[in-house]
Amino acid sequence: MSSRSWYSNAWHNASQFSRDKTQNGMPVFKNSEQLYGCLKILFTRIGEEDIGANQKVMASRLVMRLRCKDPAAEVIINGRSNPVKIAYGASTLRPDIDLEITADALHYILLGQMNLTKALGSGALKFKGPVWKSFVMEDIFRRGQAIYPQIMRECNPLS
């Protein structure tokens, strides 16, 4: 049995993804445009296929920002509007919940190869805002995990 604590195991496992990147050592997404393309497909499908997710976001009345690094991308999910509006790129809306994550970590979370706890513990994911309101983002991540493998094949970031 390892003498490492849960936290150090989580840090080691999550930080391994940021070092390993893909098998050839390159980042998953070549540039921001490719990342935005995959994110647009992902959020469009979640909106079309999961009415409950839209209703939960609207009921929360939250503005959520997802900021990716390496490459840079920003997505605003506006639960104050009906229907929910999603904006890609910088926005002047002040978010209630702010997530900052590397694009590679987001990719591995959506594939189910990294969990949110490990990403938070390693620093690959940074969260700002009231933790008790974060349940809305968890629902979005869960739904995203169900459809992301197919989306990844369609937008093919690793080619």
CATH for 60: 3.30.1050.10
Whether 13 is in a domain gets the answer yes
How many domains does the chain divide into?
1
Q: What is the pLDDT of residue 11?
A: 38
Whether 1 is in a domain gets the answer no
pTM score: 0.80
Whether 35 is in a domain gets the answer yes
Whether 48 is in a domain gets the answer yes
Q: Alpha carbon of 23 to those of 1, 89, 159: distances in Å?
A: 28, 29, 12
Is the sign of the CA dihedral 17, 21, 126, 39 positive or negative?
A: negative
Q: What is the pLDDT of residue 26?
A: 80
How confident is the prediction along the chain (159 residues), in pLDDT tens digits per residue?
444 333 333 334 444 444 444 445 688 999 999 999 999 999 999 989 888 888 889 999 999 999 999 999 999 999 999 999 999 999 999 999 999 999 999 999 999 999 888 888 888 899 999 888 878 888 888 889 999 999 988 886 555
Residue 112 lies in domain: 6-155
| 80: its two tokens | 């104050």
Proportion of the chain in helix, strand, coil states, percent, rounded to 5: 50, 15, 30
Q: For 72, list phi and psi in degrees, rounded to 5.
A: -80, 140
Q: What is the pLDDT of residue 10?
A: 39
The residue type at 19: R
Whether 21 is in a domain gets the answer yes
d(CA 84, CA 103): 23
Quickly list DSSP for 125-157.
EEEES-GGGTHHHHHHHHHHHHHHHHHHHHH-T
Whether 104 is in a domain gets the answer yes
Is the sign of the CA dihedral 156, 35, 10, 99 positive or negative?
A: negative
